[in-house]
Chain A
Amino acid sequence: MAKASAAIKQSPEVISRSGPFGVVIFGPRDLEPRLLEGSAREVWDLLSDWSTREAVSLSLAELFGADLGVVSRDVEILINDLIATEAVVTS
């Protein structure tokens, strides 16, 4: 698992499509495509450039006016999953 402060970014190897529905991504180690909707899509978009889990959580909490602690936990789970399938790379 990546360190909490490690820089993370979308992998250039991901195949994706987006639209009003959200974004469909197919990471290098995914067995099938994954649909990211709502706040998960926001996380994905925030990772179009290098960022950190903390910065992503902060942006998301501000965007949705939600509790940072709750948002951070959700972001952590999603990002760990994206790293496991190599949809997100770490610096």
Chain B
Amino acid sequence: MTYVGSEKRFSALDFIAGVGLQDGSEGEVVNLERLPEAEWRELHRELLLERLAPLAAYALDRGALTASEIQRVEINQGHARSMSLAVVLEKRLLEVYSEMTLAGIDVRILKGSAVAHLDYPDPSWRAFGDVDLLVPAESFDAASEILTAAGAKRRFAEVSKGFDSRFGKGACFSYEDGLQIDLHRTLSTGPFGLTLNLDSLFKDVEEFEIGSVILRTISRQHRFIHACFHAALGDVSPRLVALRDIAEMLLVNQVDLSEAIVTAREWRAEVVIARAIALAWQRLDLPPHDASTWANSYAPSGYEERALRAYTSENRSYATQVAAGVTAVPGITGKLAYMRALLLPSRQHISGRDSSYWARFRRGAAALRESRSSQ
């Protein structure tokens, strides 16, 4: 049994994120009972932030975690709250999905809800905080209008007219009640979002059911690649639940890694898969596996190294990622259109992100310089 003291607080978090993944770890038990109150508070806060309350409840239930009665109650309350949010989000998802489908939009559910239902043994193990939808580029405006008509407000205006449907990752919409929907055209901002094959995401369909409604999502292999995009290119320090998704898909669901690598290679994004797997194995302290061996020995191309820097360098920002996307836009005409949109954005977009055209221009030019100097 392991006593979790102050120096091991975050290893308890990592242990919970990886609980049940390893065949040989059935007997491992982590004990939280003697954790000082202040440290328990911090660990509990982290559990909620990392969306790990369901896995902590599962670990308690199977005896992999021991806790005081108060800690047990708080973990179970956190699980109940996260599941309440999940069902509220799924109710909103059904409304939006139905409206978009009725409007003839070929919508796909991404991440949270789809992963919970299809990639975990029980959807109650996977918490999530928003709804993610993927729509074809040509339907992006119509889908945005449906969300706006339903009362959702777009967080940032489109960079310039036509940018979303041609180059953008998507847009974030918030409702008055705080619920959020991320509407995607592609899976990532910047270069890696511009080189993937969007048609293939819509061609390979998988279905799942919520409240007797059949919903469409992307294929298992594409969900794995998307999970890697999210973990490797999203937050500087990815949420543990995002890393758990990767390990769950590889170790439990036996996603075919070699097929995923072939797809990622076609999308010029092998390095994204390698980085995500390496992060997951390192943070969850998983034993060596074919996937981690491949990830740790992967040698990225020059293009991949430059593209990845836009997401991982100390100066990473939305601007650097978007600027770095220039290299991934095909053709001179496309590159010029992309750069023009970035340097001459709409007034609405500027008022949301920058104070003036001049500030925008300086920021855009700096991001472009940064992108070039790293090439």
Contact = CB atoms under 8 A, between A and B. Distances in A.
B49 to A, nearest CB: 19
B80 interface: yes
A24 B88 CA distance: 10
B212 A22 contact: no
Interface stretch (A13-21, A44-52, A73-81): A13-21
Interface string B344-363: 00000000000000000000
B87 A17 contact: yes
Contacts of A28: 211
A15 B57 contact: no
For the side of the interface on B, what is the size category?
Answer: 20 to 34
B263 interface: no
A35 interface: yes
Contact of B80 (A13, A16, A19): A19
Given A13-B211, A17-B124, A26 B83 contact: no
B76 A15 contact: no
A12, A18, A20: most-surrounded residue (chain B CB, <10 A):
A20
B60 A20 contact: yes
A14 B76 contact: no
B80 A26 contact: no
**Most B CB within 10 A of own CB, among A16, A19, A35:** A19
Contact of A19 (B91, B124, B210): B124
B68 interface: no
Contacts of B76: 19-21
A25 interface: yes
Interface in B87-136: 87-88, 90-91, 94, 123-124
Interface of B: 54, 57-58, 60-61, 76-77, 79-80, 83-84, 86-88, 90-91, 94, 123-124, 210-212
Question: Which 4 A-B residue pairs are closest in the complex by CB-CB distance?
Answer: A17-B83, A21-B80, A12-B212, A21-B76
